[in-house]
Amino acid sequence: METPDTNLDQANDVEAGMRQRAWGQHITAFVFVLILGFFLAFWLSRPSQLSQLPADRLQSLNQGWVDEKRCAECHEQAETFWETGHARTLLPVTDADSLNLLKQMNSFLESQGTPTSLHFDDETVLAVHERDGSTSQIRLDWCFGSGEHARTWVGTLTDSNGATDEVEFRWSWYHDIDGFDITPGQQKQAGSGYFGGLGLLFDAPKARKCFACHSSYLPVESGKIQTSKLHAGVTCQRCHGPRQAHVESEGEVTDPFWKNATQLESIHRCAECHRRAEEQPEADVHKDNDNIARFQPVGLVQSPCFQGSQMTCLTCHDPHLTLKAQDSLGIWQCTQCHDGTESKHVLCSAGHETGCIDCHMPKVKMDSPLKFTDHWIRIRKESESSP
């Protein structure tokens, strides 16, 4: 027979056990929080991957930049880099090449009887459009495009909030026809409104995106692009970051930014401007959509060549050289992996030893007078290849 004291002892044992389990749970929770806190502190203390991207440096303070002539003192690539399309992808409207094309354009517009004309005065270029007895005009400020494909001009203006808007001029010059036509993405019929006959008006966020892909340093204050401080063109420090520490240390301070990049990171760094696949609507990324040929990384990451190797943009392209100098239309790129020296190398099933690019990476015609090499490398049906 149990006594009251026995019942009390049992109750005390139960209570002690409950306290012990509770303390165990508290200790477990504390240790979990401690470990979680450690990992969070470690993670947050790491340099942000985004903060390291060159594009993020575009709108940072102009610290650590050097005269890029210094690059050529040690790097022979820098001696001729200024001839590349990247370096020439943004020019002031007063650049000699830009003015020459605009004067040719004015003759073209006059010969076509268009209501648009260009007026040159003291290194200022005004685009003027006459319609229904009214006149609209915009000063052209910048020339976009390297000239490898096309060149398009824009004018900038300040909106009511003080931010920089942009008017993309309605007419562009095209390399393939060495002539002029409607700017890509614009309708054949001029739009309405004040700027309708002159082109498309882009708001400040869109204007910044345009300039961001065509410049190396893009200072913006309260939405206004500081064009007097802008570094035009994609130059050394756009991709490699400010080099002051590197120069002052005579090369001892280096940045492993590119050296340590993974395959996909390397592709995405080019895709900051050439577009990532994730930026396209998923339904648009398919083999029958010729328009994605304009955005090379989008197609490349879909290709078996990319998915079955460590291939990146740099496998075939040296961004420090002009397209002509790097022989971008040769077959040396293909024979790096398709020369038959290893059993895993796949050879052409049609038995061809030349013409790889023509069959597997044909140029695709856009709606405008533009053609882009399709980087979705694949075996194609003959009907897929565009002339």
Q: Are 153 and 140 in contact (CB under 8 A)?
A: yes
Beta-ladder partners of 139: 126
Residue ranges of the alpha helices (H) in 191-312? 204-212, 236-240, 244-248, 263-274, 296-300, 304-307
In this structure, the strands spanning 199-202 and 215-217 are unpaired
Q: Residue 347: its pLDDT value, please?
A: 85
The DSSP output letter for 283 is: G
Which tens digit of pLDDT belongs to each residue from 150-192? 999 999 999 999 999 999 999 999 999 999 999 999 999 998 8
Specify the pTM: 0.80
State yes or no: pLDDT of 278 exceeds 80: yes
Model confidence band, residue 41 (pLDDT cutoffs 50, 70, 90): very low
Q: Residue 21: its pLDDT value, please?
A: 57
Q: Are 308 and 302 in contact (CB under 8 A)?
A: no
50 against 273, higher pLDDT: 273
Non-local (6+) Cβ contacts of 164 within 8 A are 156, 157, 158, 204, 207, 208, 220, 223, 224, 225, 227
Q: Are 155 and 183 in contact (CB under 8 A)?
A: no
CA angle 368, 373, 379 (to 5 degrees): 125
3-state secondary structure of 289: coil
Which tens digit of pLDDT belongs to each residue from 52-78? 434 455 665 567 888 989 999 999 999
Q: Residue 350: its pLDDT value, please?
A: 82
User: What's the whole-number mean pLDDT along residues 349-366?
Assistant: 88
3-state secondary structure of 158: strand
Read off the amino acid at residue 224: K
Q: Residue 13: its pLDDT value, please?
A: 53
Euclidean distance between CA atoms 318 and 158, whole angstroms: 38
Model confidence band, residue 29 (pLDDT cutoffs 50, 70, 90): low
Model confidence band, residue 363 (pLDDT cutoffs 50, 70, 90): very high
Q: Are 142 and 154 in contact (CB under 8 A)?
A: yes
User: What's the whole-number mean pLDDT along residues 192-208?
Assistant: 94
Residue 15 to residues 8, 11, 24, 39, 83: CA-CA distances in angstroms? Answer: 10, 6, 14, 36, 83
Q: Residue 26: its pLDDT value, please?
A: 55
In this structure, the strands spanning 215-217 and 231-232 are antiparallel
Least trusted range by pLDDT, from 32-36, 203-207, 272-276: 32-36
As a whole number, the mean pLDDT across the chain is 84
Non-local (6+) Cβ contacts of 53 within 8 A are 269, 272
Structure token pair of residue 42? 């470690």
From the number of C-beta atoms within 10 Å of its C-beta (0-12, 13-18, 19+), residue 82 rates as: middle
The DSSP output letter for 183 is: P
Euclidean distance between CA atoms 252 and 206, whole angstroms: 39
Least trusted range by pLDDT, from 5-19, 57-71, 194-208: 5-19
